[in-house]
Structure 1
Amino acid sequence: MSTTTRTAVAPLTIEDAEALIEAARTAAEAAGVAAAVTVLDAGGHLLAFRRDDRAVLIAGETSTRKAYTALQLNSPTADLVEAVQPGGIFHSLTTALDRPLLFIAGGVPVHRDGQLIGAVGVGGGAPQQDHGFATGAVASLV
Structure 2
Amino acid sequence: MNATAVTPLTTADAETLITAARSAAGTAGVPVSVSVLDAGGHLLAFRRDDRAVLISGETSTRKAYTALQLNAPTADLVDLVKPDGPFHTLQTALDRPLLFIAGGLPIHRDGHLIGAIGLGGGAPEQDHSFATAALEQLSR
TM-score range, shorter chain: over 0.9
Which residue number in structure 2 is paired with residue 69 of structure 1?
66
Give the corresponding residue for 1:123: 120
CA apart distance, 1:6: 2.0
Which one of the candidate residues 2, 5, 8 is aligned to 1:5? 2
Q: Do structure 1's residue 100 and structure 2's residue 97 form an aligned pair?
A: yes
> Which letter does structure 2 place at the counterpart of 1:26?
S
- Asked if residue 55 in structure 1 is aligned to residue 52 in structure 2, the reply is yes
Unaligned runs of 5+ in 2: none
2:41 pairs, out of 20, 41, 44, with 44
The Cα of 1:99 is off from its aligned counterpart by: 1.4
Give the secondary structure class of the aligned counterpart of 2:132.
helix
Letter in 1 for 2:91: T
Q: Give the unaligned 5+ runs of structure 1.
A: none
Instruction: Calculate the aligned-residue CA RMSD, in Å.
Output: 0.8
Q: Following the alignment from structure 2 to structure 1, what is the Cα–Cα distance between the partners of residues 83 and 3?
A: 40
* Selected match of 1:15 from 5, 12, 16: 12
Query: How far did residue 140 of structure 1 move?
Result: 1.2
- Alpha-carbon distance in 1 for matches of 2:93, 2:44: 27
Which residue type is aligned with residue 97 of structure 2?
P
Residue range with higher mean Cα deviation, 95-104 or 48-57: 95-104
Superposition deviation, residue 109 in structure 1: 0.4
TM-score by length of 2: 0.97
Secondary structure in 1 matching 2:47: strand
**How far 1:100 moved relative to its partner?**
2.4
Identity %: 74
- Structure-2 residue corresponding to 1:31: 28
User: Which has the higher Rg, Structure 1 or Structure 2?
Assistant: 1
Aligned counterpart in structure 1 of residue 107 of structure 2, from 107, 110, 125: 110
> How many pairs align?
139
**What is the CA distance between 1:87 and its match in structure 2?**
1.9
